[in-house]
Amino acid sequence: MSISTFVLGQSGTGKSTSLRNLDPRRVLLIQVIRKPLPFRSANWQYITSETPNGSILVSDNTQEIIHHIRMTRRPIVIVDDFQYLMANEFMRRSTERGFDKFTEIGFNAWSVITEANNAHPQKRVYILSHTEEDQHGKTKIKTIGKMLDEKVTLEGMVTICLQTAVVNDQNLFITKNNGNTTVKSPMGLFESEHIENDLNLVDKAVCEYYGINVPQQSNQNPQQVAAHA
């Protein structure tokens, strides 16, 4: 069983920036929306025929994302802008009448998180997504339609859910719930209510907490990101 973590927050509050200290050779970054990274990122390359060992895959296809989560040899998988997995499908199907499309959109989002939870035990999957407020003013992951909100609490499918915050012009992660969010973390994983928005530090803490062995870095060429069908 892999370790899945939500990183939630409004646009511009430090979700993607938190990748800055990760070693791209150990990461498969799945961008649902292709966009430049918000930090100096010369070592982060897109996967192409010329750079098959790149770190970034662009896809909003549910089955392709599930395939790569399952097959990548890299220990860290990041799905950035997860909410657009739902929004893009909704927009492509906006002319369809009826509610079947909402059921299918909800099922596809649920399927990605289910695969993230059931990947190789050494893998850590980080799902970055925008937030919204519900009718009671509680901050939660942004979704499409009512199916996911009424039938499935997506945050309930993971053990760790962080949220971004900007305090005194500093981008941070919130680790503890204040009663108005879906933030949560295991007892003793983080001592502070606020930590630096550094996904590399978060990953190290997760590995130490769950006893995941992190091999020493080598100078060898990284293995190919995915086994292609």
Mean pLDDT of the chain: 91
- 134 part of a folded domain: yes
What's the chain's length in residues? 229
Residues paired with 133 in a beta bridge: 139
How many structural domains does the chain have?
1
Q: Give the residue-averaged pLDDT of 106-127.
A: 95
Helix segments in 44-198, DSSP class H: 62-71, 83-92, 100-117, 147-151
- 9 part of a folded domain: yes
Q: Which two tokens stand for residue 129?
A: 């997504």
- 174 part of a folded domain: no
pLDDT in tens, 75-97: 999 999 999 999 999 999 999 98
Domain range for 138 is 3-160
pLDDT in tens, 166-209: 999 999 999 999 999 999 999 999 999 999 999 999 999 999 99
Please determine, for residue 218, whether its predicted confidence score (pLDDT) is greater than 80.
no
- 177 part of a folded domain: no
Q: Which residue has the tokens 């292709």?
A: 34
Helix segments in the chain, DSSP class H: 62-71, 83-92, 100-117, 147-151, 199-210
What is the distance, to the nearest Å, from the Cα of residue 219 to the centroid of all Cα atoms in its chain? 27
- 193 part of a folded domain: no
Q: What's the CATH number where 18 sits?
A: 3.40.50
Whose CA is closest to 190, among 178, 202, 172?
A: 202
Rounding to the nearest 10 degrees, give the CA dihedral for residues 162, 146, 137, 9. Answer: 30
pTM of the model as a whole: 0.91
- 189 part of a folded domain: no
Q: Give the residue-averaged pLDDT of 112-132.
A: 96
pLDDT band at 151 (very low <50, low <70, confident <90, very high): confident
pLDDT in tens, 132-143: 998 888 899 999
Please determine, for residue 116, whether its predicted confidence score (pLDDT) is greater than 90.
yes
- 203 part of a folded domain: no
Calculate ∠ Cα 191-192-195, nearest 5°: 120
Whose CA is closest to 105, among 95, 114, 92?
A: 92
pLDDT band at 216 (very low <50, low <70, confident <90, very high): low
Q: Give the residue-averaged pLDDT of 148-173.
A: 91
| b (16+ CB within 10 A) / e for 27-55 | bbbbbbeeeebeeeeeebeebeeeeeebb
- 139 part of a folded domain: yes
